[in-house]
């Protein structure tokens, strides 16, 4: 009887552990609080809906293995779910990590967590998008303004520096969203003043919302010459809208990020090109900086992880292909 009772309790415990493991979205296998031997770094991203974040996660895991640390990597279901991200950040802090890395959906909302980390002497590394705070020791990200200017440069060249265009943005609160908008707009103002931006709509990086927004703009501005999407979801939404409106080949489309649908659109000639980040590099550099911070070593305040313009002419180039993700 005693043996049967023990087996029953053991089974219940195993089941409980299984359920708990499934309850943490996209956590790295084996991640969690440190085992007492390796430093533990908690990483909270903006989301998991795009392949971009899986590539960032891959880079983080590569660095964790190289530097012999434990990590957890999670993010909200959608990049609009600030409250879910805040729950994940608070849960991460409850595990007493040796370092915290975050890509904040809303800098103001994250301020309380940042202050908590500061009070506990837990170093903070920002990634992908900067945080409006002096607390993060470093930010590993693309120079989004420079990358957006590169997209604007190609748009201007393809349009002969004149015509009406529109922008589908993915965020008005995340620094990456505002920088990708402002870098694009500022370049055109300075270098192609005859290109008029007739509308800017925000669709949270959601493909369906981006499609609807792009279709509405095309209806309102029938002579539109081009459109720019500021992330994977926004760019694919523009592509889908152009297809559904029967205007394939009639608008110049440029985008940001990668993804199979965007890559296929470029190969097919529907999309002119896009700027890709280095997501694996972002994840790697984030963990590398966190490890250095844990050791008390100096880290660079801004870690530029680079970007590339890609189109039909260079998409198969090994240097470019290494930074594309499906």
pLDDT at residue number 36: 56
Confidence of residue 132 (pLDDT cuts 50, 70, 90): confident
The answer to whether the CB of 266 falls within 8 A of the CB of 277 is no
| 25: helix, strand or coil | coil
Average pLDDT over every residue of 118-141: 93
Average pLDDT over every residue of 128-154: 93
> Is the pLDDT score of 125 beyond 50?
yes
Q: Write down the mean pLDDT value for the chain.
A: 89
Q: % helix / strand / coil in the chain, to the nearest 5?
A: 45, 15, 35
Average pLDDT over every residue of 219-241: 97
**Token digits of residue 273:** 């090109």
> Is the pLDDT score of 266 beyond 80?
yes
Query: What does the pLDDT look like over 292-319, one tens digit per residue?
Result: 999 999 999 999 999 999 999 999 998 8
pLDDT at residue number 114: 97
Confidence of residue 8 (pLDDT cuts 50, 70, 90): very low
Percentage of the residues of the chain whose pLDDT score is greater than 70: 89
Task: Identify the residue with better confidence: 88 or 176.
Answer: 88
DSSP class per residue in 251-305: SEEEEES--HHHHHHHHTTSS-EEEE--HHHHHHHHHHHHHHHHTT----SEEE-
**Token digits of residue 181:** 């908008």
pLDDT at residue number 31: 40
Query: What does the pLDDT look like over 166-219, one tens digit per residue?
Result: 999 999 988 889 999 999 999 999 999 999 999 999 999 999 999 999 999 999
| Residue for token pair 């805040």 | 86
pLDDT at residue number 322: 81
**Domains identified in the chain and CATH numbers:** 18-142+279-305 (3.40.50.2300), 144-276 (3.40.50.2300)
pLDDT at residue number 80: 87
> Is the pLDDT score of 19 beyond 70?
no
Average pLDDT over every residue of 28-46: 70
- Stated pTM of the model: 0.71
pLDDT at residue number 323: 85
- What's the Cα-to-Cα distance from 264 to each of 188, 275, 308, 312, rounded to whole Å? 27, 15, 17, 10
pLDDT at residue number 55: 87
**Measured between alpha carbons, how far is 255 from 309 in angstroms, rounded to an integer?**
10
């Amino acid at each position: 009887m005693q043996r049967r009772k023990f087996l029953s309790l053991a089974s219940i415990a195993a089941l409980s552990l299984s359920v708990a493991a499934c309850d943490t979205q996209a956590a790295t296998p084996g991640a969690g609080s440190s085992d007492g031997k390796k430093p533990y770094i908690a990483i909270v991203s903006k989301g998991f809906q795009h392949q971009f974040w899986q590539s960032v996660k891959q880079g983080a895991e590569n660095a964790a293995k190289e530097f012999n640390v434990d990590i957890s990597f999670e993010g909200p279901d959608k990049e609009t779910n600030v409250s879910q991200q805040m729950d994940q950040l608070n849960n991460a802090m409850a595990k007493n990590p040796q370092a915290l890395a975050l890509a904040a959906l809303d800098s103001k909302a994250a301020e309380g967590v940042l202050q908590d980390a500061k009070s506990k002497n837990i170093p903070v590394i920002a990634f992908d998008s900067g945080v409006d705070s002096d607390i993060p020791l470093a930010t590993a990200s693309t120079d989004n303004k420079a990358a957006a200017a590169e997209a604007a440069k190609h748009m201007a060249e393809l349009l002969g520096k004149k015509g009406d265009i529109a922008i589908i943005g993915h965020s008005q609160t995340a620094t990456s969203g505002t920088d990708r908008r402002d870098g694009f707009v500022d370049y055109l103002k300075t270098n192609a003043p005859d290109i008029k931006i007739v509308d800017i709509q925000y669709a949270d990086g959601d493909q369906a919302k981006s499609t609807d927004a792009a279709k509405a703009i095309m209806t309102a501005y029938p002579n539109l010459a081009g459109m720019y999407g500021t992330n994977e979801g926004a760019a694919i939404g523009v592509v889908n809208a152009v297809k559904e409106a029967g205007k394939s080949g009639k608008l110049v489309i440029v985008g940001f990020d990668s993804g199979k649908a965007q890559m296929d659109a470029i190969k097919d000639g529907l999309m002119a090109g896009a700027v890709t980040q280095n997501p694996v590099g972002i994840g790697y550099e984030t963990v590398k900086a966190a490890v250095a911070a844990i050791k008390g070593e100096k880290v660079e305040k801004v870690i530029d992880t680079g970007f590339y313009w890609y189109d039909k002419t260079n998409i198969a180039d090994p240097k470019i292909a290494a930074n594309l993700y499906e």
